[in-house]
Amino acid sequence: MSRTHVSQGDSCDVLVIGGGNAALCAAMSAAEAGARVILLESSPKAFRGGNSRHTRNLRFLHRKPTPYLQGAYLEEEFWDDLVLVTGGKTTEALARLVIRGSEDVGAWMEAHGAKFQPPLRGTLHLARTNAHFLGGGKALVNAYYATAARLGVEIRYEAEAVDLEIENGRFRAALVREQGGERRIAAAACVCAAGGFQADLAWLKEIWGEAAERFVIRGSPYDTGRVLRTLLARGAKAVGDPRQCHAVAVDGRAPRYDGGIVTRLDCIPFGIVVNREGKRFYDEGENFWPKRYAIWGRLVAGQPGQEAFCLIDAKALSLFMPSVFPPLEGRTIGELARRFGLPVRAVEETVAAFNRAVRPGNFDPASLDDCRTESLEPPKSHWARPLDTPPFYGYPLRPGITFTYLGVGVDETAHVLGEDGRPFENLFAAGEIMSGNILGQGYMAGFGMTIGTVFGRIAGREAARHVRG
Amino acid sequence: MSGGEPLREAERVMTICNACRYCEGFCAVFPAMELRRTFTAADLRYLANLCHNCRGCWYACQYAPPHEFAVNVPRALAELRRASWRGFARPKGLAGLFTRNGRTVGAAGLIAAAVFLLWAAFSAADGLWVRQEGAGAFYRMIPYGAMVGVFSALALAALGALGAGLISFLRQTGTRTREFFALKNQRRGLLDALRLTYLEGGGHGCNYPDERFRHGRRRLHHLVFYGFLAALASTTVAAFYDHGLGLPAPYPWGSLPVLLGLGGGLAMTAGLAGLLYLKARMDREPADEGGRGMELGFLGLLLAVNVTGLLLLFLRATAAMGLLLALHLAAVAAFFALLPYSKFVHALYRWAALVKNAAEQSAAERDPAG
């Protein structure tokens, strides 16, 4: 192995840029293969882990049940699920590599400190496909950092890679901002696992204009896409739609960044949603919520002021997961509209028209029931019941961005591809920064973590192999 | 009623937790929380007493400070727990003993030591520093009737106050008497208490004294708890020997009271020393700083009971016996006098909360939609 020792730790065998799941899997794998590894996490220690902090489970192929997974989940079903959510926008070779590479990854994770729990209430629909982390993603990230440190990985917090030196298809060094200064860290190989660009407001505005000013970023404020932008500027091939992001409707009172899971609202199928003009704009009961929640971010983003309001009545209050902010309340629809500062007359008319259009049916949240509207535009196809039982409640909605799809192209050994399709010699990518190769659109619960884990391991192993020569 | 500020903070934190639920695999608190959408004062007092302070949720929390939500479940629940004990305490006039509890416990120990030393000095026929041997040796230091009288009175007062405390727990947590005394709920709740199921962190242990999962605290607690039971059994057997069989203490080394007392005392001493050591090293961020005195006072007093008891056993045939007997009895007296107003009550209310948890979880299992 060719060790390039320079003083003050300013060089290493494998430089890992990023501090989330994919970066940690790469760092641990490279260290286990004998490489001297430095990991750069741009956030302070308290917020380490990027969006992995906010995750909760991981989907992996398994042939037998485990103490925390029911039944079996095999390649063809996994593949079919992926094709369904992406509408076929995927790269089959890479996708199958992830699926196959995920087989029994739980055991590897446990060997590296991960702890799992059987799913309890609320997540039972994932009991067969997804393994849940005991305590969630931050607990996983904590365990991985402890393991990485034990394996000798040098971890630097608040260290942001601001530029990459790449010559003739070869990575030389990264320019790193830390402790108020900039320094050059040379490495024999580099793994870029620094996530998407969803926290870079200026970049979001380039795409969505001023509307982006009113978006909520659900995850880490440190996912600014700086490394992604640098790679693209240095000739890496772009993959994934640069204009698309995964966005859901979150509570309008959510913090600007990092609100995570608790700001999501699951009330929409049980009420109506109006914009600031008091008008409905989409079928709230089109399909089961898990199949529809991801379109509502875009829908709300399309409304004036990028805001909307979900209105329910007392019948519906206990039908969805409690949310972190209490609903606004009114004894009448008019009073509720006033609380929100909405045009009272318009909201009252919308509710009256909706109530008149509701046909009688047998209400059943567990099925696509026959409670629907007739001659109403837009219709509400299921779970439509008149808003007639006071008190009335409302939640403000805003678009909440989970992640972006733009990334860099990679091959099956996690090498970053150039614009000409040829791989960079010693530059690798894993995690959200390359998941656009596999998830061209849509999302599948726990699959981002699968991609990060499988590609993180490949990238770490390949980077170490490159160093050994 | 009790706990304005701790109640508000616990409600704020539980509302955030209930929208997240990532921690539901750690313990009983989160599944119990999930049975509710909003939290009354009664709910929160119950959840606070159900919390074993394993700290799994602290290290796992994506909303822990410096996040602006500043969620610190172990601290919020520990502060409310301490406030709730003041509210449960009976007679109400003595609830104030829970404030500055460490000093209260320490003062009680010192006063008891002074009283018993003086008492022994005046009542010992041949003086305090004299070797006494044979049956009834202890009573030549402190007269039999007085000893029985004082400790019976203290034990009865403690039992009465703890019983009344349990009744106020049931009332202030909205627990129905019938479900509390149902045999199957008692069985499940008691098992969880005896096993310390919820310090197991789903099999990995608890995050104490720091971020790593460890079983040490649960094992040390078992040493203290089962040591305590052995010591109680020793006292009970000794009382039977004395009053039933007419065999007054001290008893020979191989006798049942000595074996139980020695085993229990050693286990408790080791357990308490270990717990104190862990407490000195623990991460203070998720701790209820205001409860430090109460915890150290309780552990310290119980350790004093054990150390003086073991010394008495080993040195009972020397001239130091009188002094050690007085100190041991003083520690035991202080311990019993403050039993209902010290951290000891955590055992009572944890058990009660675990029984309530057993009741509501089995009801939820029968009727998942309910």
Mean per-residue pLDDT over chain B, rounded: 93
Q: Inspect the interface and report whether the beta carbons of B59 and A142 lie closer than 8 Å.
A: yes
Interchain contact B25–A (C-beta under 8 A): yes
- How confident is the model at residue A3, as a pLDDT? 39
The SS3 call for residue B99 is: coil
Banded pLDDT at B4 (limits 50, 70, 90):
confident
Please tell me the distance from the alpha carbon of residue B76 to that of residue B9, in angstroms, as a whole number: 6
Is the pLDDT score of A8 beyond 60? no
B246 Rama class: left (phi>0) / alpha (psi -120 to 50) / beta: left
Is the pLDDT score of A332 beyond 50? yes
Residues of A in contact with B207 (CB under 8 A): none
Would you say the ipTM is above 0.90?
yes
Banded pLDDT at A65 (limits 50, 70, 90):
very high
B25, B69, B212 ranked by CB distance to A135: nearest:
B25
Interchain contact B13–A (C-beta under 8 A): no
pLDDT digits (tens, 9 = 90+) for B9-56: 999 999 999 999 999 999 999 999 999 999 999 999 999 999 999 999
Which residues, listed in sequence order, are joined to residue A111 by a DSSP beta bridge? none
Q: Which residue has the higher pLDDT, B142 or A88?
A: A88
Query: Strands of A57-59's sheet, edge to edge?
Result: A57-59, A130-133, A116-117
Please tell me the distance from the alpha carbon of residue A314 to that of residue A241, in angstroms, as a whole number: 42
CA-nearest residue of chain B to A324? B16
**For residues B357-362, average pLDDT:** 96
> Using CB atoms within 10 A of its CB, is residue B133 exposed (0-12), middle (13-18) or buried (19+)?
exposed
**Pairing relationship of beta strands A181-192 and A423-429 according to DSSP bridges:** parallel
The residue extents of the domains of chain A are 7-242+406-468, 248-400
Q: Hunting for tokens 């040829």 — which residue is that?
A: A422
Q: Inspect the interface and report whether the beta carbons of A122 and B22 lie closer than 8 Å.
A: no
Q: Inspect the interface and report whether the beta carbons of A135 and B64 lie closer than 8 Å.
A: no
- How confident is the model at residue A6, as a pLDDT? 36
Residues of B in contact with A138 (CB under 8 A): 59-62
Residues of A in contact with B69 (CB under 8 A): 255, 262
- How confident is the model at residue A468, as a pLDDT? 82
CA-nearest residue of chain A to B37? A322
Banded pLDDT at B3 (limits 50, 70, 90):
low
Is the pLDDT score of B329 beyond 60? yes
Q: Hunting for tokens 């600007």 — which residue is that?
A: A256
Is the pLDDT score of B101 beyond 70? yes
Interchain contact A255–B (C-beta under 8 A): yes
Instruction: Return the CATH class of domain A248-400.
Output: alpha beta
Contacts A–B by Cβ distance under 8 A: 92
Is the pLDDT score of A277 beyond 50? yes
Please tell me the distance from the alpha carbon of residue B27 to that of residue B207, in angstroms, as a whole number: 12
CA-nearest residue of chain A to B18? A322
Q: Which of B93, B137, B80, B149 is nearest to B288 (CA)?
A: B80
pLDDT digits (tens, 9 = 90+) for B187-242: 999 999 999 999 988 789 999 999 999 999 999 999 999 999 999 999 999 989 98
Please tell me the distance from the alpha carbon of residue B165 to that of residue B161, in angstroms, as a whole number: 6
Measure the CA dihedral A348/A349/A352/A358, to 10°: -130
**For residues A46-69, average pLDDT:** 95
CB contact at 8 A, B124 and B130: yes
Interchain contact A261–B (C-beta under 8 A): yes
pLDDT digits (tens, 9 = 90+) for A347-358: 999 999 999 999
Is the pLDDT score of A68 beyond 50? yes
Banded pLDDT at A399 (limits 50, 70, 90):
very high
B19, B22, B65 ranked by CB distance to A323: nearest:
B19
- How confident is the model at residue B134, as a pLDDT? 79
State the CB neighbour count (10 A cutoff) for residue B122. Answer: 8
Please tell me the distance from the alpha carbon of residue A358 to that of residue A379, in angstroms, as a whole number: 9
Please tell me the distance from the alpha carbon of residue B159 to that of residue B130, in angstroms, as a whole number: 36
pTM: 0.94
- How confident is the model at residue A4, as a pLDDT? 38
**For residues A18-40, average pLDDT:** 98
Interchain contact B178–A (C-beta under 8 A): no
Is the pLDDT score of A140 beyond 60? yes
Banded pLDDT at A122 (limits 50, 70, 90):
low
Q: Which of B30, B356, B27 is nearest to B173 (CA)?
A: B356
Is the pLDDT score of B59 beyond 90? yes
Interchain contact B264–A (C-beta under 8 A): no
The SS3 call for residue A156 is: strand
A396 Rama class: left (phi>0) / alpha (psi -120 to 50) / beta: beta
Please tell me the distance from the alpha carbon of residue B226 to that of residue B246, in angstroms, as a whole number: 28
Banded pLDDT at A2 (limits 50, 70, 90):
very low
**Alpha helix ranges (H) inside B240-344:** 256-281, 292-315, 321-337
Which helix or strand (DSSP H or E) is residue B300 part of? Answer: helix B292-315
Q: Inspect the interface and report whether the beta carbons of B62 and A255 lie closer than 8 Å.
A: no
Q: Inspect the interface and report whether the beta carbons of B20 and A146 lie closer than 8 Å.
A: no
Is the pLDDT score of A152 beyond 50? yes
**For residues A239-250, average pLDDT:** 91
Is the pLDDT score of A7 beyond 50? no
Q: Inspect the interface and report whether the beta carbons of A321 and B19 lie closer than 8 Å.
A: yes
- Span of A124-133, A140-149, A157-166, A224-233 with lowest mean pLDDT: A124-133
Is the pLDDT score of B369 beyond 70? no
Q: Before B209, cis peptide (omega within 30)?
A: yes
The SS3 call for residue A325 is: coil
Is the pLDDT score of A41 beyond 80? yes
Q: For residue B26, give how far its alpha carbon lies from the nearest alpha carbon of chain A (Å).
A: 7
In one-letter notation, the amino acid at residue B164 is A
Q: Inspect the interface and report whether the beta carbons of A261 and B16 lie closer than 8 Å.
A: no
CB contact at 8 A, B112 and B304: no
Banded pLDDT at B368 (limits 50, 70, 90):
low
B19, B22, B24 ranked by CB distance to A322: nearest:
B19
Q: Which CATH superfamily is domain A7-242+406-468 in?
A: FAD/NAD(P)-binding domain (3.50.50.60)
pLDDT digits (tens, 9 = 90+) for A406-462: 999 999 999 999 999 999 999 999 999 999 999 998 889 999 999 999 999 999 999
A135, A318, A321 ranked by CB distance to B23: nearest:
A135
State the CB neighbour count (10 A cutoff) for residue A7. Answer: 6
Beta strands, E only, chain B: none
